[in-house]
Amino acid sequence: MKKFGKKTLSLALAFVMVLSLCTFVSFAAGDVVLKIGEEQTLEVNPGLTDVTWSSSDGTVVSVDKTGDKTSKIKGLKEGSATITASAPAIEADPEHNIEAQEAFEQKWEVTVSFDTNVPVTAFKVEPSNVEVPYGTSADKAAALVKKSVTVTATYGEQGDKPVTVDNWNPTAGKLYSSDLTVGETAEYTASITGLKKADGVEDPTVTVTVI
């Protein structure tokens, strides 16, 4: 049987210790879905120490450490980001009452979306005026408006999001641009289904000018 000297055994034990310290634990914690402005608390194994937190995109999801093992994340805008909690490897030191710890990493895939059930607080219309040739009917004018105009809704603190207009309808005065002379205008109002509006918010309008 081959014998090992004390020096050889010491080197072997040191090698095993290094391998132990290099052990790395990593796993996915699952998916999280947030609305813009929504917050959630994340938590890791209570036995870990020196835990740090990070977000792959701080403009989409912010992360703030709230305790030794917890953090608070918040959805800031539409998109996705990966939240990572990590802890370093620690060598045991019984003399100072320090327990060994494997390097650790835990990830959450977070998706942030708009909550379209929030009442719209304002509309933006671009452009606010559309020119149509003299003699254009109201229906054709509405089609030109729908093709040319972009409407963006403001969902409170969530920010802006483009919306789809079902129809543009003449709302006041002469309804057909064929009734108008060159230079005169008519107002068209957007019809949008599925939106909640805050009190006092009017439907978006566009001015149609005959040229």
Residue pair 144/132 in contact (Cβ under 8 Å)? The answer is yes
Distance CA 75, CA 155 (A): 15
Question: Which residue is listed with tokens 């813009």?
Answer: 36
Q: Looking at the predicted structure, is the pLDDT value of residue 205 above 50? A: yes
pLDDT in tens, 57-108: 999 999 999 988 899 999 999 999 999 999 887 877 788 877 777 888 999 9
Q: What letter would DSSP give residue 37? A: T
Domain extents for the chain? 23-113, 122-210
CATH number assigned to the domain with residue range 122-210, chosen from the 4 options 2.40.128, 2.40.50, 2.60.40, 3.30.420: 2.60.40
10 Å CB burial of residue 4 (0-12, 13-18, 19+) is exposed
pLDDT in tens, 20-64: 333 444 445 679 999 999 999 999 987 788 899 999 999 999 999
pLDDT in tens, 133-179: 988 888 888 999 999 999 999 998 888 999 999 999 887 655 555 56
Q: Looking at the predicted structure, is the pLDDT value of residue 2 above 90? A: no
Q: Looking at the predicted structure, is the pLDDT value of residue 189 above 90? A: yes
Give me the pLDDT at residue 10, please. Answer: 45
State the chain's mean pLDDT as an integer.
83
| Percent of the chain residues past pLDDT 70, beyond the cut | 82
Given phi > 0 = left and psi -120 to 50 = alpha, else beta, which region is 159?
left
Residue pair 48/69 in contact (Cβ under 8 Å)? The answer is yes
Give me the pLDDT at residue 94, please. Answer: 86
Distance CA 6, CA 188 (A): 93
Q: Looking at the predicted structure, is the pLDDT value of residue 5 above 60? A: no
Give me the pLDDT at residue 151, please. Answer: 98
Same fold across 23-113 and 122-210: yes
The CATH fold of domain 23-113: Immunoglobulin-like (2.60.40)
